[in-house]
Amino acid sequence: MTQINVNIRMDEGLKKEFDDFCKDMGMTMTVAFTVFAKTVVRRQRIPFDIAKDIPNAETIAAIKEVEAMKRDPSLGKAYTDVDEMMRELLL
């Protein structure tokens, strides 16, 4: 079977991390991408979920609280002493 080159652009840091992972798994990045491509063709789908993370109600409330505090800093509490802050957080 004739082989061809495929060029992929990605962040330099991501490439290094991915290459390190592949080496830890005993394969090259080429082998990893080939495994991915063969799995896609065999299953006729992406072999993992691609979805947007949807925050739960508690996280949405926390985001809204922070946004409100950014608009009006008097809503939050400021600390000058880390130990005091930690004591209050751990109560």
Report pTM: 0.56
CB 22 within 8 A of CB 29: yes
| Residue 13 scores a pLDDT above 90 | yes
pLDDT band at 78 (very low <50, low <70, confident <90, very high): confident
Percent of the chain with pLDDT over 90: 84
**Cα–chain center distance at 65:** 23
Q: How many domains does the chain contain in total?
A: 1
Task: List the domain range (segments joined by +) for residue 82.
Answer: 57-89
Examine residue 47 and state whether it is found in any structural domain, yes or no: no
Decide if 3 is inside a domain. no
Residue 48, domain member (yes or no): no
Cβ-proximal residues to 36 (8 Å cutoff; 6+ apart), any chain: 47
Q: What is the DSSP letter of 85?
A: H
Q: Answer whether residue 9 is part of any domain.
A: no
pLDDT tens track for 29-72: 999 999 999 999 999 999 998 888 889 999 999 999 999 999 99
In a domain, 40, yes or no: no
Minimal CA–CA distance to 36: which of 62, 18, 9, 53? Answer: 18
The reported pLDDT for the residue numbered 37 is: 97
